[in-house]
Amino acid sequence: MSTAKKKVVAKTESSPTTNTSTSLKFYRLNEQAILPTFATKQSACFDLYANLINGEEVQYYQAIATKVLPRKVSFDINSNRSFIPINNEERMLIPLGLIADIPEGFSVRLHSRSGMAFKQGVYLTNCEGIIDSDYVDPMFAMVTNMSNVPVKIYDGDRICQGELVRCEKYTLDESDEAPTQKTDREGGFGSTGT
């Protein structure tokens, strides 16, 4: 694996009220790692890319999770790209080749890409990944193949999207009284219809 490393800064647009911007920095673990990008000028989230290096191992669970297993990244001579197959119902940690330097008071939220979920049946396993500002280790996208056929993830594929989110500070307190009804709502879990 290449040991070349590069620090990159992704800046948000300036706030119209404060005229300041927040920067989210990324450290590339190898030259092959692709930096996050915004697909359009008004994209709410940035795209994150799979960083699959031929011969390296990726961690996964089979449909019946008994223990984490390694699977080696392979090389496809037709596309000239490295890839990893994910069988149906398998869960896998896809390396992104990046470490995020998240500013204090923020977190990064990872979301499934709608195209990948709809077209290939590949979703983020935990629905939304949350990366805290004090996490300074390599980033992964935890994905599940929910289709009934194997799916190949190629190096450089847009695997998920990320969002920089401001964290509201709050306390966790015990209450001596049960909460009272605040609206005319009755129940939950479908009580307002489908």
The residues, any chain, with a CB within 8 Å of residue 133's CB and separated by 6 or more, are 102, 103, 104, 105, 106, 107, 167
Q: What is the pLDDT of residue 186?
A: 78
pLDDT tens digits, one per residue of 6-31 = 555 555 444 445 556 899 999 999 99
pLDDT tens digits, one per residue of 157-186 = 999 999 999 999 999 999 999 998 888 877
Q: What is the pLDDT of residue 189?
A: 77
pTM given for the model: 0.84
Nearest to 87 by CA among 1, 142, 147: 147
Spell out the domain ranges in the chain.
7-14+22-166
The domain defined by 7-14+22-166 folds into: Deoxyuridine 5'-Triphosphate Nucleotidohydrolase; Chain A (2.70.40)
pLDDT tens digits, one per residue of 74-87 = 999 999 999 999 99
* CA distances from residue 103 to 78, 135, 145, 172 in whole angstroms, order as listed: 42, 11, 32, 23
In the block, tokens 């935890």 appear at 142
Per DSSP bridges, beta strands 81-86 and 151-154 are antiparallel
- Residue 31's φ and ψ, nearest 5 degrees, are -70, -20
pLDDT tens digits, one per residue of 19-77 = 568 999 999 999 999 999 999 999 999 999 999 999 999 999 988 878 899 999 999 99
